């Protein structure tokens, strides 16, 4: 999910390999993906979906799973789409903004994971779910109370699903990707210091070249996704590898 820009866009390109079938869910298309996939022997279908809309998301998932090959060796779901908004301290937050963040960062990955588990049940295949979390879900940040809470929620959801699936079911990980040079970071740098007191730190990290490139992180995540021990450490951080 969230394949049109940022980390998701880099992940889609990195996942293009002969024999792979890719399906994406975002509001916008990845402009270079179709040509890149064709050049790498990958079948790709970009499904338009606003993941804050549960009904639209359900319809898009049903379309996606209806055309999914049933004979793959491995099925992977990557829940990557996310928003850092609303940025602001409690006391200034608006109902719609809170609801949108919860819908995109929490409800959509839960719904997608649930449908993925059901749609791949009974298939003789390796099944993996990778939730893109954040260090912000593990350490509080002033001005990011909604974002931090959504990522903490996805960490706990991951732990609960792992318990349900046991040793022979779907393997699931919630992975923090580090600080990456994406449009989300530009959005953070455009916020106001009264809304986000750590703003200067984020501007400094950008100015001193401390942000990872999306392509580098995507390559490391694709390698992580293929690890034999995937799922053993369900709350993980790509910076540990
Ligand atoms: P970007 O904001 O750069 O990209 C977000 C992606 O999510 C876009 O492809 C966008 O596609 C999609 N998206 C946003 N809203 C919706 C929606 N309503 N419906 C469907 N898709 C949507 O984010 P990043 O690439 O930086 O972040 C990717 C993930 O990594 C997120 O989960 C984020 O929380 C996490 N992360 C990022 C960090 C960073 O430093 N960048 C640090 C830690 C975690 P479209 O607009 O086409 O719908």
Residue nearest to atom 10 of ligand 1 (CA): 2
**Does the C-beta of 7 come closer than 6 Å to ligand 1?**
yes
Distance 184 CA to ligand 1 centre (A): 7
Catalytic residues: 147
Q: Which atom of ligand 1 is nearest to the CA of 179?
A: 40
Please choose from 82, 102, 135, 217 the residue to mutate so as to test ligand 1's pocket, defined by most ligand atoms within 8 A of CB: 82
Tens digit of each residue's pLDDT, the chain (241 residues): 999 999 999 999 999 999 999 999 999 999 999 999 999 999 999 999 999 999 999 999 999 999 899 999 999 999 999 999 999 999 999 999 999 999 999 999 999 999 999 999 999 999 999 999 999 999 999 999 999 999 999 999 999 999 999 999 999 999 999 999 999 999 999 999 999 999 999 999 999 999 999 999 999 999 999 999 999 999 999 999 9
- State the DSSP H helix or E strand holding residue 76, giving kind and residue range, or none if neither: strand 74-79
Residue with CA closest to ligand 1 atom 33: 82
Is residue 6 left, alpha or beta, with left meaning phi > 0 and alpha meaning psi from -120 to 50?
A: left
How remote is the CA of residue 132 from the centroid of ligand 1, in Å? 10
Of 195, 192, 239, which Cα lies nearest the Cα of 216? 239
pLDDT tens for 160-191 read 999 999 999 999 999 999 999 999 999 999 99
The secondary structure of 114-176 as a DSSP string is: HHHHHHTTT-SSEEEEEEE--GGGTS--TT-HHHHHHHHHHHHHHHHHHHHHTTTS-EEEEEE
150 Cβ closer than 6 Å to some ligand 1 atom: no
> pTM of this prediction?
0.98
Would the CB of 174 count as within 6 Å of ligand 1? no
């Amino acid at each position: 999910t969230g394949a049109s820009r940022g980390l998701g866009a880099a992940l889609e390109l990195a996942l293009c390999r002969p024999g792979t079938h890719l399906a994406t869910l975002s509001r916008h298309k990845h402009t270079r993906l179709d040509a890149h996939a064709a050049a790498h022997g990958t079948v790709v279908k970009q499904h338009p979906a606003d993941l804050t809309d549960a009904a639209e998301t359900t319809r898009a998932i049903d379309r996606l799973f209806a055309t999914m090959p049933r004979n793959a060796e491995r099925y992977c779901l990557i829940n990557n789409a996310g928003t850092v908004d609303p940025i602001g301290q409690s006391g200034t937050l608006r109902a719609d903004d809170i609801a949108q963040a919860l819908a995109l960062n929490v409800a959509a990955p839960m719904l997608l994971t649930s449908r993925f588990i059901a749609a791949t049940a009974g298939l003789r295949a390796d099944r993996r779910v990778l939730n893109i979390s954040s260090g912000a879900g593990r350490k509080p940040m002033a001005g990011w109370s909604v974002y931090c809470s959504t990522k903490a929620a996805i960490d706990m959801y991951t732990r609960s699903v792992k318990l349900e699936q046991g040793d022979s079911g779907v393997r699931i990980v919630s992975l923090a990707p580090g600080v990456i040079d994406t449009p989300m970071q530009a959005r953070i740098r455009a916020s106001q210091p009264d809304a986000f007191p750590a703003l200067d730190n984020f501007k400094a990290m950008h100015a001193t070249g401390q942000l990872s490139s999306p392509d580098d992180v995507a390559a490391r995540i694709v390698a992580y996704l293929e690890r034999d021990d995937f799922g053993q450490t369900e709350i993980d951080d790509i910076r540990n590898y």
